[in-house]
Amino acid sequence: MTHPRKSLDSVIHAPVRFSIAAALASVDEADFKTLREAIEITDPALSKQIALLEQAGYVKVRKAFVGKRSRTWLSLTSEGRDAFTRHLTALREIAGWDPAAK
């Protein structure tokens, strides 16, 4: 049997990126400010992590104006949702892993 840690996603595994993916997995879309407040992180730190997730194809970034203000909305792509689900499954398998059950 292969250890389930080999199924972990290295992009999502970082705590902040995992928090972002988890928050976005429960909604269709979230605005930047709401996400920032939910995971308790600074704007620059969130921007950096979002860029990494976007580069991996896991997050879609949509920008638009509301009145005169620019707003940013974020959502998980289908690839991002699949990666998050696989990663979460691997974590659950690790938590319940029995080394004696080879």
Residue 46 CA to residue 19 CA, distance in Å, equals 11
> Which range is least confidently modeled, 3-7, 14-18, 68-72?
3-7
Which of the four pLDDT bands, split at 50, 70 and 90, describes residue 84? very high
More confident residue, 78 or 97: 78
| Chain centre to alpha carbon of residue 31 | 14
pLDDT of 102 > 60? The answer is no
Mean pLDDT computed over 1-17: 89
pTM of the model: 0.87
Choose between 93 and 35: higher pLDDT: 35
Q: What residue type is 41 in one-letter code?
A: I
18-73 residue pLDDT tens: 999 999 999 999 999 999 999 999 999 999 999 999 999 999 999 998 888 889 99
**Residue 98 pLDDT:** 67
Task: For strands 59-66 and 30-31, give the pairing.
Answer: unpaired
